[in-house]
Amino acid sequence: MSVDEHIGPRTASFYPSIQPHASGMLEVGDGHSLYWETCGNPDGRPALFLHGGPGGGCHPDYRRLFDPSIYRIVLFDQRGCGRSTPHAEIAANTTQHLVGDIERLRAELGVEDWMILGGSWGVALALAYAQRHPRRVRALVLRGVFTARQLEFDWLYRHGASSMFPEGWQRFVDPIPPSERDDLIAAYHRRLFSDDTGTRQEAARTWCGWEGELLTMKPRAPRTGPATRGEMALSRIEAHYFVNRAFLEEGELIANMHLLADVPGVIVQGRYDVVTPPRTAYDLHNAWPRSTLHIVPDAGHATSEPGILARLVEATDSFRPL
């Protein structure tokens, strides 16, 4: 178990752009159909990418975090988002459903076990899956650690980040009457599932705008205009998960790390990550004997931060011999 805050030369970057060599839709029951794709070496070592959100969907750049000559790279859009259908659906959409979906996809693709890379919400999902199916996981690479503890929700939606970004916080709370501000997740959940289209649109854009401002070291300007299709899925599914505390017991993912005592892992965490602050990464690292924690001294939350990207590619490269 080690902690490293020295980033060294930034030699690692995205691998070149690649296209899938196979893709499809996987029926998982409850009316849900999941988009999946495989890239890289069809006969290579399996590596699974788990996107954030929940509800964020996959981006082509995520294929480029792995050496395509070595890895059989698997990506899929989780229930209700990206190219999966039905769009923005929350029925039969819980952490436990997603864990089952990963295992169903593994069997569908004929994978014995795989390395898993997850970021943000993808960390929580990777841990939930690995703790349920530890023999199916060769290694974990985790970025921007989120484990759905109450203190993590409070930081982002009650107090913490609001002290660092007061103007963004003001934009986030302005649409909510003072009488409802004691639970902003619940207040936004009500609006995101309103019968009124305009109410849903405004809530989606504002919900995503708050998180979007915090992703990188250099804050992003808030986006204007109507909510996009992706923002609608992200906001509705996130609010659904967060109002239900991600369908997990308080602190269970860190408390159950003894189940992964034999699984090696690398944690990559931005020092100035305002979405998922370093405390959670440190707590996870301390509970996981076979982990290495890289705290990137000049980075926020996003994969695209140069130091984060360098460490992620170095980590996937390091597991090539497995």
Mean pLDDT, range 61-90, rounded to an integer: 98
Compute CA 195 distance to the chain's CA centroid, rounded to the nearest angstrom.
29
Query: What confidence score (pLDDT) does residue 219 get?
Result: 74
Higher model confidence: residue 94 or residue 217? 94
Q: Is the pLDDT of residue 209 over 70?
A: yes
pLDDT of 306 higher than 50: yes
Q: Which domains does the chain have, with CATH numbers?
A: 2-147+249-318 (3.40.50.1820), 150-246 (no CATH)
Residue-wise pLDDT tens digits, 128-165: 999 999 999 999 999 999 999 999 999 999 999 999 99
Tell me the C-alpha distance between 220 and 5, whole Å.
25
The residues near 273 (Cβ < 8 Å, ≥ 6 apart) are 144, 299, 300, 301
Which residues touch 122 (CB under 8 Å, ≥6 apart)?
49, 50, 51, 52, 143
Nearest to 157, CA basis, from 211, 102, 205: 211
Reported as a single tens digit per residue, the pLDDT across 254-279 is 999 999 999 999 999 999 999 999 99
Contacts 24+ apart (CB under 8 A), 247-250: 247/94, 247/95, 247/96, 248/95, 248/124, 248/128, 248/148, 250/149, 250/150
- Does the annotation mark 301 as catalytic? yes
Catalytic residue among 120, 162, 235, 291: 120
pLDDT tens for residues 6-20? 444 456 799 999 999
291 annotated active-site: no
120 given a catalytic annotation: yes
> Across residues 223-233, what is the average pLDDT?
89
The active-site residue out of 51, 189, 240, 301 is 301
Query: Could you read off the pLDDT of 163-181 as tens digits, one per residue?
Result: 999 999 999 999 999 999 9
* pLDDT at res. 220: 74
Is the confidence at residue 295, as pLDDT, over 90?
A: yes
**Whole-number pLDDT of residue 266:** 98
pLDDT tier at 322, thresholds 50, 70, 90: confident
CA separation for the pair 72, 40 (Å, rounded): 5
Task: Kindly name the residue from 273, 285, 291, 294 that is annotated as catalytic.
Answer: 273
